Amino acid sequence: MPEYLPTAPYRGTRDFLPAEMSVRSQVFGTLYEVLERHGFLRYDGPLLEPAEIYEAKSGEEIANQQLYTLTDRGGRRLALRPEMTPTVARIIAGNAGSLQFPVRWYSHPNCHRYERPQRGRVREHWQVNADIFGSDSANCEIEIFELIHGMLTALGASEDMFLVRANDRQLLTAALTGVVGVTGEQLGPVFSLVDRWEKYEAERLAADAAEIGLSDKQFARLGEVLGAGPALLDELPSEVKQASHLVRVLESGSAGLVRFDPLIVRGLAYYTSTVFEVFDTSPENNRALFGGGRYSDLAGLFTAQQIPGIGFGMGDVTLMDFLATHDLTPRPRSEVDVVAIPVTEDLYDAARTVVTRLRAAGLRASVPLELRKLGKELSRADRAGARAVVIVGQEEWDEGNVTVRGLATREQRQVAMDSAPAAVAELLSD
Amino acid sequence: MPEYLPTAPYRGTRDFLPAEMSVRSQVFGTLYEVLERHGFLRYDGPLLEPAEIYEAKSGEEIANQQLYTLTDRGGRRLALRPEMTPTVARIIAGNAGSLQFPVRWYSHPNCHRYERPQRGRVREHWQVNADIFGSDSANCEIEIFELIHGMLTALGASEDMFLVRANDRQLLTAALTGVVGVTGEQLGPVFSLVDRWEKYEAERLAADAAEIGLSDKQFARLGEVLGAGPALLDELPSEVKQASHLVRVLESGSAGLVRFDPLIVRGLAYYTSTVFEVFDTSPENNRALFGGGRYSDLAGLFTAQQIPGIGFGMGDVTLMDFLATHDLTPRPRSEVDVVAIPVTEDLYDAARTVVTRLRAAGLRASVPLELRKLGKELSRADRAGARAVVIVGQEEWDEGNVTVRGLATREQRQVAMDSAPAAVAELLSD
């Protein structure tokens, strides 16, 4: 039996120490800012939800295998939310009477799934969710694609670093039935085959297709359809295209934001037309970063009111991998801007007076908690990323002065206590 | 059986719609800023922790009654964190080798306790935690009290709206044994009696004191001691006072931040000397807002290394009540600064070009998702809190112009598209 409890976090969860947390705060702070510039409003909801809101709608895998559940003392079966959509559906349904639709909403919850930990898969992850609820206009699609570009470019990405691949399940259905000759019964299995298309070898795909009942010729034709890219549109009847939001996007001035790709279907059951995935274009990290889509009836579990919507959930793990791959990870912020160092114990009150002034000027400032030799304290301040110190000595203080010193330049000068914030700010702006 | 699932959140948890979330973001954003100006660094940790880290140390009530627990498929017993201290103790212990102590850390986790919902008590609450780890200097106490004042005044509170009442368990022990004549055996029960002192009637307190074995005279003396306030210090031996951090604070230039009060003991077991509670001074909300204290051995469950610390956890419910009581709750931010309105469907691309410019200038800008009559759209923009609109009409657009209109003034003028962001910014700054 170990004498002490282990210090590692529970498997698949993470501790964020200040340096990493500083990076995350910068990244997510940038995303919040972009979201709000695009008119999206933040909301939040409970971590615990009644288990049935997941069991009724989510994919089987999540409900049965991946959900963390518990029963409270009142016998209520609860789940740790694995995703935000059921929560926001519940909130929207409960407040539909007072909301002015359409609404643009975002959130940043931690979500839990019981997964085998591996690259890009954790048991607790943080997910930025952005959705437009209550509109069935193709303008929503355009805004969502604009938002994705706005978010990634604000993080420093250039347009060639990522690709938004989009499809419309209605278009794909028309191609599968009209061009490949897939029957209504075969549609579901073929969709799921398309979802595996890029992950599996050709032989296995052919075997799966045969099992569904596709002929060799149909399988070949399916390959042509899926590989056709935007050219597939030319083969589809115009009444199908006229009904498609994605086609409207491709005909608008925003067409450049997205690439039509018949291969994108998305596993989740609730998407009804537009679906999309954002891919990293780097050969080192060639994978889907996140995705989303349109649903025609968000809150059907909770209300008769049919509320359409479109949105996406961007997980923190793949986002951070993307930034690292492209060398876009911001550096941790320094711990503090300036340290005010009292030379003796008696000067602590004086140093605190200085620090109060520095903070009032918007600077991040601290006093050492324990008195050390000046040289040691200068090294500590340097390691904390401070670029200046204010040294408070008895004789200067008696005259109303302090010494301001740049840590890089090692230049120092005496200034009146009242001028210390300005003198420090000047050093920091160099 | 209901046809639809209920839309209310799980009992004791809350949905935060955008207006309320905007208020919260402003409040907590202000607190983060103050914390960072004081040199505190943000960290975070998992929501799920091994259950034993709470069962070993927390008060009995939390471990047995209030903890949400579950068992994962690997048989691991887990708990939803009811507080942050065990998590941060684990993290600090696991990283002690690479940290340069002392450290100032803060976090803002959601914590779960299974409580009967009532005013100020919820099952999921958000708690700002701030601690200094690794120093046994009275400067830590001073910094924590400075921080509390900095946080509350940054939210608009004046110094007369709250009172930090502080005690030192060592001083109280000296007074109880030396002045009241409490025996070592009686100390525990008397501490717990002191904790109830302000909540119960005199008769019940007297009965409880008698049960502990205090004489009537001792009970009367206890009342004098607890009611003495700062004057109690004069009755205590100087060697006891010399060892007290709190006495050091009261002798420093920061004495005004805190009031010595023998009545403050705090229930939690791990505090060893300084304890404090922050009270609302309003007669309408005369209660403790939050509190904290010093512990001599933070991470004893995880490591042999003795790490002292001091800190507090500020819950969102009582904080919001405090702000409401003193009329300090910030107003929700407007949803958007400016709306660009295309007059026809054909002008959507144009309107989006305008919006992109407005956003690049730092404005929160949107385009209506669905085309409506101009009058309706102006009302919508007004309700969303926008103070300006940019109207995109065909003739102006063909000449490179748009119409900028103030929603309050109803004044409008044509400007070149390139000048629209500046014209809007001017309207907003009025």
- The per-residue pLDDT for range B362-399, each reduced to its tens digit, is 999 999 999 999 999 999 999 999 999 999 999 999 99
Of B114, B142, B254, the CB nearest to A72: B114
Residues belonging to chain B: 430
Task: Sheet containing B388-392: give its strands across.
Answer: B365-366, B338-342, B388-392, B401-406, B412-416
Please indicate if any CB of chain A lies within 8 Å of the CB of B370. Answer: yes
- Paired with A388 in beta bridges are A338, A406
The three-point CA angle A61-A63-A66 to 5° equals 65
The 3-state DSSP class for residue A381 equals: helix
Strand partners, B110: B126
C-beta separation of A392 from A399 below 8 A: no
> Which of B15, B37, B353 lies at the smallest CB-CB distance from A91?
B15
**HSE, side-chain direction, 13 A CA sphere, residue A7:** 17
DSSP-based three-state secondary structure for A231: helix
Cα–Cα distance measured from residue A45 to residue B237, given in angstroms and rounded to the nearest whole number: 53
Render pLDDT for B28-48 as a digit per residue (tens, 0 to 9): 999 999 999 999 999 999 999
Structure tokens, B136: 């046994």
Question: Cα dihedral sign for A244, A249, A250, A256?
Answer: negative
Residue of chain B whose alpha carbon sits nearest to that of A73: B114
Q: Which two tokens stand for residue B233?
A: 């210090």
The two structure tokens encoding residue B304: 């042999």
Q: Look at residue A268 and tell me whether its pLDDT is greater than 70.
A: no
pLDDT band at B1 (very low <50, low <70, confident <90, very high): very low
Neighbours of B319 (CB within 10 A): 23
* Angle, CA B178 vertex, CA B172 and CA B183 arms, to 5°: 85
- How many Å apart are CA A82 and CA B78, to the nearest integer? 17
CA–CA separation, A311 and A275 (whole Å)? 9
> What are the CA-CA distances from residue A117 to residues A65, A124, B47 (Å)?
14, 10, 17
Contact between A358 and A421 (Cβ < 8 Å): yes
A365 → closest Cβ in B5, B37, B137: B37
Residue-averaged pLDDT of chain B: 94
Q: Residue B346's closest chain A neighbor by CA? A: A252
Strands A401-406 and A412-416: antiparallel
For residues B185-214, give the mean pLDDT: 94
pLDDT of B326 strictly over 60:
yes
For the CA atoms of chain B, what is the radius of gyration?
Answer: 28
Measured CA to CA, the distance from residue A425 to residue A46 in angstroms comes to: 42
* Residue-level pLDDT at A259: 96
In chain B, what are the domains? 28-325 (3.30.930.10), 338-429 (3.40.50.800)
Q: Peptide bond before B102: cis, by omega within 30 degrees of 0?
A: yes
Cα–Cα distance between B105 and B130 in angstroms, integer?
A: 6
From chain A, the residues in CB contact with B69 under 8 A are 70
pLDDT over 90 at B429, yes or no: no
Please tell me the distance in Å from A70's CA to the nearest CA on chain B: 6
State the smallest CA–CA distance between residue B366 and chain A in angstroms. Answer: 6
Q: Give which of B49, B165, B270 is closest to A14, Cα–Cα.
A: B49
CA–CA separation, B420 vs B424, rounded Å? 6
Is residue B69 predicted with pLDDT exceeding 90?
A: yes
* Residue A271, marked binder: yes
Window A:271-310, CB contacts with B under 8 Å: 301-304
Give residues 137 to 176 of A whose Cβ lies within 8 Å of B: 137, 139-140, 142-143, 146, 150
> pLDDT grade, residue A1 (50/70/90)?
very low
Q: What is the pLDDT of residues B75-133, one digit of tens each?
A: 999 999 999 999 999 999 999 999 999 999 999 999 999 987 676 579 999 999 999 99
Please compute the mean of the pLDDT values over residues A161-165 and round it to a whole number: 98
Tell me whether residue A202 is exposed, middle or buried, using C-beta atoms within 10 angstroms of its C-beta: 0 to 12, 13 to 18, 19 or more.
exposed
Paired residues of B213 in beta bridges: none
Residue B179 has pLDDT above 80, yes or no: yes
Side-chain-side CA neighbours of B412 within 13 Å: the count stands at 15
Nearest CB to B7: which of A94, A348, A380?
A: A94
pLDDT (0 to 100) of residue B2:
57
B129: contact with A, CB 8 A cutoff: no
Residue A4 annotated as lining a ligand binding site? no
pLDDT band at A64 (very low <50, low <70, confident <90, very high): low
Structure-block tokens of residue B163: 């009172």
pLDDT tens digits, one per residue of A186-200: 999 999 999 999 989
Cβ pair B272, B301 in contact under 8 A: no
Q: What are the C-alpha distances in Å from A329 to residues A28, A204, B30, B74?
A: 12, 39, 26, 35
Nearest CA in chain A to B351: A253
Cα–Cα distance measured from residue A370 to residue A368, given in angstroms and rounded to the nearest whole number: 5
Complex prediction ipTM: 0.95
pLDDT of residue B118: 72
Q: What is the mean pLDDT of chain A?
A: 94
Q: Which residue of A has its CA nearest to B10?
A: A49
Cα A389 from Cα A384, distance rounded (Å): 12
A359 is an annotated ligand-binding site residue: no
Determine, for residues B42 and A25 on separate chains, whether the beta-carbon distance falls below 8 Å: yes
Question: What distance in Å separates the CA atoms of residue A286 and residue A163, rounded to the nearest whole number?
Answer: 11
What is the distance between the alpha carbons of residues A255 and A356, in angstroms, rounded to a whole number?
Answer: 54
* A254 three-state secondary structure: coil
- Give residue for tokens 């579901």: A188
Q: Which residues, in sequence order, are CB contacts of B127 under 8 Å at separation 6+? A: B83, B84, B108, B109, B110, B111, B313, B314, B315, B316
Beta-bridge partner residues of A118: A121
pLDDT tens digits, one per residue of A339-353: 999 999 999 999 999
State residue B119's pLDDT score.
Answer: 66
pLDDT beyond 70 at B303: yes
Q: Is the pLDDT of residue A62 over 60?
A: no
**Tokens standing for B13?**
């948890």
Percent of chain A whose pLDDT exceeds 90: 91
Residue B269 has a pLDDT of 67
Residue A155 binned pLDDT confidence (cut-offs 50, 70, 90):
very high
Q: Which helix (H) or strand (E) holds A411?
A: none
Query: What CA–CA distances, in Å, run from B424 to B340, B358, B401, B420?
Result: 11, 8, 14, 6
Contact at 8 Å (CB) between A163 and A260? no
Instruction: Out of A168-172, A285-289, A415-419, B279-283, pick the least confident.
Output: A285-289
Nearest CA in chain B to A94: B7
How many CB atoms are located within 10 Å of the residue B70 CB?
18
CB A69 within 8 A of CB A78: yes
At B25, the pLDDT band (50, 70, 90 cuts) reads very high
Quote the pLDDT of residue A69: 94
Residue A107 has pLDDT above 90, yes or no: yes
Q: Is A46 exposed, middle or buried (0-12, 13-18, 19+ CB in 10 A)?
A: buried
The H or E element that residue A171 is part of is: helix A169-175
Separate counts of helices (H) and strands (E) for chain A: 16, 17
As a whole number of angstroms, the distance between CA B363 and CA B312 comes to: 38
SS (H, E, C) chain B: CCCCCCCCCCCCCCCECHHHHHHHHHHHHHHHHHHHHCCCEECECCCEEECHHHHCCCCHHHHHHHCCEEECCCCCEEEECCCCHHHHHHHHHHCCCCCCCCEEEEECCEEECCCCCECCECCEEEEEEEEEECCCCHHHHHHHHHHHHHHHHHCCCCHHHEEEEEEEHHHHHHHHHHHHCCCHHHHHHHHHHHHHCCCCCHHHHHHHHHHHCCCHHHHHHHHHHHHCHHHHHHHCCHHHHHCCHHHHHHHCCCHHHCEECCCCCCCCCCCCCEEEEEEECCHHHCCEEEEEEEECCCCCCCCCCCCCEEEEEEEHHHHHHHHHHCCCCCCCCCCCCEEEEECCHHHHHHHHHHHHHHHHCCCCEECCCCCCCHHHHHHHHHHCCCCEEEEECHHHHHCCEEEEEECCCCCEEEEEHHHHHHHHHHHHHC
Q: Tell me the C-alpha distance between A369 and A241, whole Å.
A: 69
Give B228-254 pLDDT, tens digit per residue: 999 999 999 999 999 999 999 999 999
Q: Is residue A63 scored above 60 in pLDDT?
A: no
Find how far residue A365's CA is from the centre of its chain: 31
Cβ(A38)–Cβ(B366) under 8 Å? Answer: yes
Distance from C-alpha of A84 to C-alpha of A86, rounded to nearest angstrom: 6
| Phi and psi torsions of A267, nearest 5° | -70, -40
A85-112 burial, b for 16+ CB within 10 Å, e for fewer?
A: bbbbbbbbbbebeebebbbbbbbbbbbb
